[in-house]
């Protein structure tokens, strides 16, 4: 039996695997991630071989913009954006604990950011900080979280407990036409992401002590377990840019000094492990940083996104 994901870690960590831009083959491969202690979490970059770790700025829950030039992240409970190197930071929201923001996601056109708030609702905001909009408008007993965009920007997928356990829902980008896609009374679903072609949805699913990665059609039909051959708890899945690969986290049943990412084919085959020099890995964005001015505007390497089930501070 798999061990369910625990909420007792002392680190919050997000991760971005950066592949070199095809237009600039000499650009170094890097990983962008956020993590560290609860008292001073930060956003970092390091080489793919896990050397040369550099702190970019304070913050958590980071997402790179579609063109690889900007970051969206949470700092001091609020949503910020900055240049990819952490400079020229702009605060877009004015949340203060006990109200705080989480799970920011850039829209495919780079004009908006959707995010969760501790009041249980999902919001969108223009990248200039204007037009803050509550998309879910549910009461405080309901939690809507982990929003992510469809490839064409017309839909937002998220998880919500509005009908019992946490299940996957989809709505129009303006918050209308909410539709429930999963609904097993014994399970909870989270971390949902459209495939790059918009035809599939990848998500995490927990049933009692088991935690696995599932895939289903975009209409919620034909769910399939991709990690039933793994004993540890699998969670936080995300797509490669071409939809051929999936990366996810592995929660070992013991505390170690390392975190692990696993990569597999979209059908669940060909699993391979990446060991990182920091524990409790929760990837948010698998993307390409722009490292030179000659790099192409649109990332040509592998790109995908993830929001971890719990963006809350752990004890």
Give tens-digit pLDDT for 98-119.
899 999 999 999 999 999 999 9
Most confident of 20-29, 197-206, 255-264, 272-281: 197-206
Nearest CA to 147 out of 118, 179, 188, 105 is that of 105
Angle, CA 83 vertex, CA 82 and CA 84 arms, to 5°: 115
Residue 12: is its pLDDT beyond 70? no
List the chain domain ranges: 14-305
Residue 172: the pLDDT is 98
Question: Are the CB atoms for 278 and 11 separated by under 8 Å?
Answer: yes
Range with the poorest average pLDDT among 13-17, 56-60, 158-162: 13-17
What pLDDT, in 10s, does the model give residues 42-54?
A: 887 766 555 667 7
Residues 6+ apart with CB under 8 A from 260: 249, 250, 252, 273, 274, 275, 276, 281
Residue 75: is its pLDDT beyond 50? yes
CATH architecture of 14-305: 6 Propeller (2.120)
Q: Is the pTM of this model over 0.75?
A: yes
Residue 292: is its pLDDT beyond 60? no
Residue 213: the pLDDT is 96
Residue 257: the pLDDT is 54
**Proportion of the chain above pLDDT 70, given as a percent:** 69
**Proportion of the chain above pLDDT 90, given as a percent:** 49
Q: What is the rounded average pLDDT for all residues in the chain?
A: 77
Q: How far apart are CA 136 and CA 111, in angstroms?
A: 20
Separation of first and last alpha carbons in the chain = 26
Q: Is the peptide bond before 215 cis (omega within 30 degrees of 0)?
A: no
What pLDDT, in 10s, does the model give residues 153-188?
A: 999 999 999 998 999 999 999 999 999 999 988 899
What pLDDT, in 10s, does the model give residues 250-259?
A: 765 444 555 6
The 155-160 sheet, strands edge to edge: 144-149, 155-160, 167-172, 179-180
Residue 235: the pLDDT is 85
């Amino acid at each position: 039996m798999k061990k369910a994901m625990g909420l007792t870690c002392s680190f919050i960590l997000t991760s971005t695997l950066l592949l070199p831009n095809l237009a600039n083959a000499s650009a170094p491969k890097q990983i962008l991630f956020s993590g560290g202690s609860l008292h001073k979490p930060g956003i970092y970059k390091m080489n793919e071989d896990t050397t040369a770790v550099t702190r970019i700025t304070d913050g958590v829950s980071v997402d790179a913009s579609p063109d690889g030039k900007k970051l969206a992240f949470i700092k001091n409970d609020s949503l910020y954006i900055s240049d990819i190197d952490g400079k020229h930071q702009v605060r877009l929201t004015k949340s203060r604990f006990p109200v705080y923001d989480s799970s920011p996601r850039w829209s495919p056109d780079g004009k908006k950011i959707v995010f969760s708030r501790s009041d249980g609702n999902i919001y969108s905001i223009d990248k200039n900080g204007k037009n803050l909009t509550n998309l879910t408008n549910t009461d405080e007993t309901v939690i809507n979280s982990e929003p992510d965009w469809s490839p064409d920007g017309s839909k937002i997928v998220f998880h919500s407990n509005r009908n019992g356990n946490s299940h996957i829902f989809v709505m129009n980008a303006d918050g209308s036409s909410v539709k429930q896609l999963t609904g097993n009374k014994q399970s909870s679903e989270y971390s949902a992401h459209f495939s790059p072609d918009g035809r599939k949805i990848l998500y995490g699913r927990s049933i009692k002590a088991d935690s696995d990665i599932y895939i289903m059609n975009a209409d919620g039909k034909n769910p399939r377990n991709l990690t039933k051959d793994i004993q540890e708890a699998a969670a936080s899945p995300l797509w490669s840019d071409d939809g051929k690969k999936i990366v996810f986290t592995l929660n070992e049943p013991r505390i170690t000094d390392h975190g692990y990412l696993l990569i597999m084919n979209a059908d669940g085959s060909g699993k391979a492990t990446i060991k990182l020099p920091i524990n409790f890995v929760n990837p948010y964005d698998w993307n390409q940083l722009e490292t030179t001015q000659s790099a192409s505007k649109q990332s040509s390497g592998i790109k995908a996104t993830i929001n971890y089930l719990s963006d809350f501070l752990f004890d």
